[in-house]
């Protein structure tokens, strides 16, 4: 785009949209990003709110249809006199853009495939973002729609769609399936548990996370425990494993993330099968040979692209493949 144009419509909504984008070969049409590309990678700085990326094609000019993909953002840990706005990268697959008309889903419009892109924009909706109140006021004062927001865009790129993963990453099964804002503590290199009201993670009046309970830093007792037990790992190691996952997701590469609870030297028995689980409940250790085989299989399987799972064993007779897993590109 040659320059952004800002607009605001109903109360509690604001949007910024690019100028008209045109194909070099045919200026009457928009950009054709569907050949070899699978989605957008956006580098942005924001305040932890929920936003929309929208694309306009000829369907917008003809029927008023936007293709919309919603995404969340994160914040830094609260510090005195410092901004909590945080830089992050988000992937927005073309397949996750849904046809919307006047704020409602339009099932009659064709799916978005990355073709005829005439405008790209971002939108904030107050109804999707509530003012954060302290827990003590939850039953006294209703939550209000937010009116203030911050979203700064550094760049928008497209990422390619290779037939199989470009990178297989071996990670830690102690990382939860969903990592919520505030759970990652960079100041102490820990991942905090996600406890609701009265737990370790509570919301301050300014919307920040505070730790009401005690947390452990990697000390001598922790080091001794990790050294003596080959099956155990430190909280700091889990933190860095998660940071590696995030770097890989932000890179734009197609990936496969394998989360393992531990290793043993026992080969998989004929009575048990390797399982690809979507949660980390009852995840058992697996042999190094089995992990290596799964990683090699993932590199050669298109269905293993952009997925993450927990590797375990059980006695279920059901046969499983990477195709049973859902892509986790949406943040």
Phi and psi at residue 86, in whole multiples of 5°?
-130, 135
The model's confidence at residue 268, banded by pLDDT at 50, 70 and 90, is: low
Whether 209 has a pLDDT exceeding 60, the answer reads no
Phi and psi at residue 89, in whole multiples of 5°?
-115, 140
Q: How far apart are CA 318 and CA 298, in angstroms?
A: 19
Identify whether the C-beta of residue 211 lies closer than 8 Å to the C-beta of residue 195. no
More confident residue, 258 or 127: 258
Q: Tell me which residue has tokens 């904030």.
A: 124
- What pLDDT does 272 receive? 62
- What pLDDT does 210 receive? 37
- What pLDDT does 207 receive? 36
Identify whether the C-beta of residue 13 lies closer than 8 Å to the C-beta of residue 122. no
Q: How far apart are CA 101 and CA 109, in angstroms?
A: 10
- What pLDDT does 327 receive? 72
User: What is the DSSP code string of 96-161?
Assistant: G-EEEETTEE-TTSPPP-S-SB-EEEEEEEGGG-BPP--GGGTTTS---B-----EEEEEEEEEE-
The model's confidence at residue 152, banded by pLDDT at 50, 70 and 90, is: very high
- What pLDDT does 269 receive? 56
Other C-beta atoms lying within 10 Å of the C-beta of residue 36: 10
Q: How far apart are CA 294 and CA 271, in angstroms?
A: 18
Q: Is 309 left (phi over 0), alpha (psi -120 to 50) or beta?
A: beta
Whether 219 has a pLDDT exceeding 60, the answer reads no
* Single pTM value for the model: 0.65
Q: How far apart are CA 58 and CA 282, in angstroms?
A: 50
Q: Which residues contact 269 (CB under 8 A, 6 or more apart)?
A: none
């Amino acid at each position: 785009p040659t320059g952004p144009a800002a607009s605001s419509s109903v109360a509690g909504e604001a949007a910024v949209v690019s100028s008209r984008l045109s194909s070099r070969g045919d200026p009457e049409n928009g950009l054709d990003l569907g050949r070899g590309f699978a989605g957008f990678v956006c580098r942005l700085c924001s305040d932890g709110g929920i936003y929309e990326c929208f694309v306009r094609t000829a369907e917008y000019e003809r029927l008023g249809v936007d293709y919309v993909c919603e995404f969340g953002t994160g914040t830094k840990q609260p510090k005195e006199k410092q901004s909590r706005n945080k830089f992050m990268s988000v992937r927005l697959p073309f397949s996750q853009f849904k046809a919307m008309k006047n704020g409602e889903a339009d099932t009659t419009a064709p799916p978005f495939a990355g073709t005829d892109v005439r405008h790209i924009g971002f939108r904030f909706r107050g109804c999707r973002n509530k003012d954060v109140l302290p827990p003590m006021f939850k039953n006294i004062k209703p939550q209000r729609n937010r009116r203030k927001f911050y979203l700064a865009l550094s760049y928008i790129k497209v990422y390619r769609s290779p037939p199989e993963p470009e990178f297989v990453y071996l990670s830690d099964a102690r990382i939860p399936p969903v990592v919520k804002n505030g759970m990652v503590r960079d100041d102490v290199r820990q991942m905090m548990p996600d406890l609701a009201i009265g737990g370790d993670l509570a919301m301050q009046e300014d919307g920040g996370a505070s730790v009401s309970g005690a947390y452990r830093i990697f000390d001598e007792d922790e080091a001794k425990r990790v050294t003596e037990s080959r099956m155990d790992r430190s909280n700091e190691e889990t933190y860095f494993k998660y940071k590696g996952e995030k770097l890989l997701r932000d890179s734009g590469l197609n990936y496969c993330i394998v989360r393992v609870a531990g290793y043993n030297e026992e080969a998989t028995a004929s009575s048990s099968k390797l399982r690809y689980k979507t949660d980390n409940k009852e995840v058992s250790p697996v042999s190094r040979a089995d992990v290596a085989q799964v990683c090699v299989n993932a590199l050669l399987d298109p269905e293993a692209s952009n997925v993450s799972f927990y590797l375990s064993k059980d006695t279920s007779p059901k046969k499983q493949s990477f195709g049973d897993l859902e892509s986790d590109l949406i943040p």
